[in-house]
Structure 1
């Protein structure tokens, strides 16, 4: 009898909870049937207009006759409207700006003459090449492809590559290697331009690109070697050429230490770059709503871009505001899912997925979080299969939640047996450029470098402007600026994926 009473009580409580939830949902408009509950009767007198005098964050506004903006107010309103639209455009188009900046840099700074030329970080990446959170422990090879120039283009890759290709909006096209269709055996990838209507030949992995420019990047390990060996290895094996002509003459450039600027500007000139993208790429690559906003700013396909002095000032302010907002999103995220472990300050670089969608909408802050601090998009950069792909975590703060500063000394204790199939690495970055930290010393410690190991299998890594006495595992910081790190898991295993292995926070020593 007592059990029956408890069951009845439980059902009553459950019914009450459901009713409360239903009422709450109705109040929120989720299930509101206006035919049943339209609200109390209203008349014209119930309309509550905005006042004819307003105080806003961009000044005092006045409206004559109740609603006509005065000349002074009109100017303030349009200035603010343009500034807001330009600021949002900076963030909305940042992925496209980032890829365009990389392609332009490789042609300008490395001297590429055609898409067939390839760049090789044969002596590893250095701080003089400011690739967003690029690493200095693997040999990169890359090509800048232009389907408007060459038409259908072939990327012929050797076996064993790891990499991917992204389109002009920095969206994923395909992986190369073990996670790509060639399954690490190598092969011929054929990229078709927008609107291509010809026949597709057999024997290729075929991808239709919605844009003209493509950036293809891959990493080499083992037999690739480095230095001159790596340059020759890739020149002999990595080929990019128009389908119509077949392989053609090409160069392979050792890009290590040459110097390059791959980052979009952080001032008004970035909108000139954005206009170049809009003029070159097919209109269909971008959302019509976003293009409509750009058109109000004077950026419209087929029309000259001639901002006057007023708009140049607005563009400059908007770019800086876009940078400020992007910095907040990356370094002070308000996303409730940002931390990988709930009691640690290690943060995700991809919050939920690599498509930047959530609950049926574009996950725009998650998109900024990735693209303002990193390049390339692939589902295998967020590995959920043990031993496959990679995963990255960032740390901007110490154990107490305080930003990492270069004039301090910290210790990071990496617990024993990091769950990786290939290797792990910790690399320090400059928060201004989000690129390799140019501290003039070592900025990387990882398992491939045979770090000093404690008796319990853990590894202590020290960070600071001066090397602690008797410590081998040291990353040199710049005392005049902050820094952050990326912890890379190459081939993450169950301990990482299931979160049973937990990485410690930075400890401030002095």
Structure 2
């Protein structure tokens, strides 16, 4: 009898919960049937118009005859409309601007003559090459591909590579290496241009690109070596060429220390760059709604881009506002899921996934969070399989929640046995460029550098403008600016994925 009473009680509670959920859904409009509940009858008198004078953050707007904007108000309205649209365009198109800036810089700053030329960070990346949170502990190799110039293009990679290819909107096309279709054995990847009608050969890993420009990046380990050895290694083994011609003459350039500017401008000139992208890439690459907004700003495929003095000023303000908003999203995120551990200040770089979608909608702030501080998109940059791929966490604040500043001294204690299959590394970055910190000293400590280890297996890393007496594992900061760090997990293991291993926060030293 007692069991029966409990069952009845449970069913009653369940019914109450379902009814409450149904009422809540109805209130939200999810299940609202207007035929059953349209609300009380209304007449024309129930319409609530905006007033003839509207106070806004860009001035007081006045309307004659109740609704006709005065000449002065009309100008204010269009100025603000254009500024808002341009500001949002800066953020919406930042991924495309980022990839275009990288490709352009490699041709301009490294002297590439064709997609077959290869750049190699043979002596590691330096602060003179401002790649967004690029690292200085692995040897990069990369190529800039243009399917409009070369048509179907082959990327022939050697065994053991780790990397990926992204299209002109900085969207994922494929991985190279163990997480790609070659499974670490190397092979020939064929990228087909938009609208390609022919039949693709069977002996390639084939990918159709929605845009013309592609950036292919990969990392080499071990046998690749450094310096001249790494340059020769990649020149002999990494080949990029048109399918129609087969392998052709190419160069491999040691880009370490050459200097490059891979970042989109943070002023009005960025819209000239955006126009170049719109003119070159197929219209189908971008959302029609976004293109419609650009058209109102004078950026439209097949038409000249000639902003007058008014629009140049608006573009300049919009770019700076876009930067300000992007900085807030990255450095002061309001996303409730930003922290990797609930009681720590370590933050995710990919909040939920690498496709920037959440519950059926585009996750636009998560997209800005990644693309304003990093490059390349691949599902294996957010590893959930032990020992596979990589994972990254950032820290902008100390234990008390204050920003990390270069004129102060800090200690970061890395607990024993970081859960990685390959290696871990902590690297310091400049918050202005989001690139390697140019402090004039060491900016990286990691397991490959054999850091000094405490008796309990933990590693103390010190940060500050001057090396603390008697301490090793020191990262030099710039006293005139802030800094942040990225903690890299190459081949993260269960302790990281399951969050049983927890990083400490930065401690401010007195």
- What's the CA shift for 1:456? 0.5
SS in structure 1 at match of 2:276: helix
Q: How many angstroms apart in 2 are the aligned matches of 1:203 and 1:35?
A: 60
1:202 offset after TM fit, Å? 2.2
Q: Provide TM-score, normalisation by structure 1.
A: 0.99
1:4 Cα deviation (Å)? Answer: 4.4
1:345-373 per-residue CA deviation (whole Å, 9 max, x = no partner) reads 00000000000000001000000000000
Write the distance in 2 (CA, Å) between the matches of 1:451 and 1:250.
39
Residue 316 of structure 1 and its aligned partner are, at CA, apart by: 0.2
Q: CA deviation at 1:289?
A: 0.3
Equivalent residue, structure 2, for 1:225: 225
Q: d(CA) in 2 for partners of 1:14 and 1:404? A: 50
Partner Cα separation in structure 2 for residue 57 and residue 18 of structure 1: 44
Superposition deviation, residue 201 in structure 1: 1.4
Cα RMSD for the two superposed structures: 0.8
TM-score, normalization by structure 2: 0.99
| Aligned-pair CA distance for 1:251 | 0.6
In structure 1, C-alpha distance between the alignment counterparts of 2:331 and 2:431, rounded to whole Å: 9
Structure-2 separation of matches of 1:5 and 1:210? 62
* Distance in structure 1 (CA, Å) of the matches to 2:19 and 2:150: 63
Distance across 2 between alignment mates of 1:430 and 1:457: 30
Q: Distance in 2 between matches of 1:396 and 1:202?
A: 48
Query: What SS is found at the alignment partner of 2:366?
Result: helix
- CA displacement at 1:25 relative to structure 2: 1.2
Q: 1:13 Cα deviation (Å)?
A: 3.1
Matched position secondary structure for 1:61: strand
| Whole-angstrom distance in 2 between the partners of 1:322 and 1:478 | 26
- Following TM superposition, by how much is the alpha carbon of 1:5 offset from its aligned partner in structure 2, in angstroms? 4.1
Q: Secondary structure at the match of 2:78?
A: helix
Following the alignment from structure 1 to structure 2, what is the Cα–Cα distance between the partners of residues 23 and 247?
66
Shift of 1:471: 1.0
1:327-362 deviations in Å (ceiling 9; x for gaps)? 000000010110000111000000000000000010
- State the distance in 2 between where 1:159 and 1:402 align: 45
1:200 to partner: Cα distance: 1.1
Shift in Å, 1:12: 2.9
**1:22 Cα deviation (Å)?**
1.4
SS at match of 2:54: strand
1:203 is displaced (CA, Å) by: 1.1
Deviation of 1:24 (Å): 1.4
Deviation of residue 21 (structure 1)?
1.9
Deviations 1:453-492 (A, max 9, x none): 0001000000000111111100000011000000000000
CA positional deviation for 1:7:
4.2
Gaps of 5+ in 1: none
1:422-441 equivalence runs, <5 A: 422-441=422-441
Moved more, 17-26 or 337-346: 17-26
Deviation at 1:10, TM superposition (A): 3.8
1:14 offset after TM fit, Å? 3.0
CA displacement, residues 29-58 of structure 1 (integer Å, 9 cap, x when unaligned): 011011110000001100000001000011
Note if 1:249 corresponds to 2:246. no
Deviations 1:176-234 (A, max 9, x none): 00000111111111101000111211211111000000000000000100000000100
Query: For residues 290 and 112 of structure 2, what CA distance do their matches in structure 1 show?
Result: 32
Which digits, 9 at most, give the CA deviation of each residue in 1:390-439, with x for residues without a partner?
00000000111110000111110000000000000000000000000000
Give the Cα–Cα distance (whole angstroms) in 1 for the partners of residues 235 and 9 of structure 2: 76
The number of equivalent residue pairs is 510
SS of 2:85's partner is helix
Matched, 1:393 2:381: no
Question: Counterparts of 1:19 and 1:197 in 2: how far apart (Å)?
Answer: 55
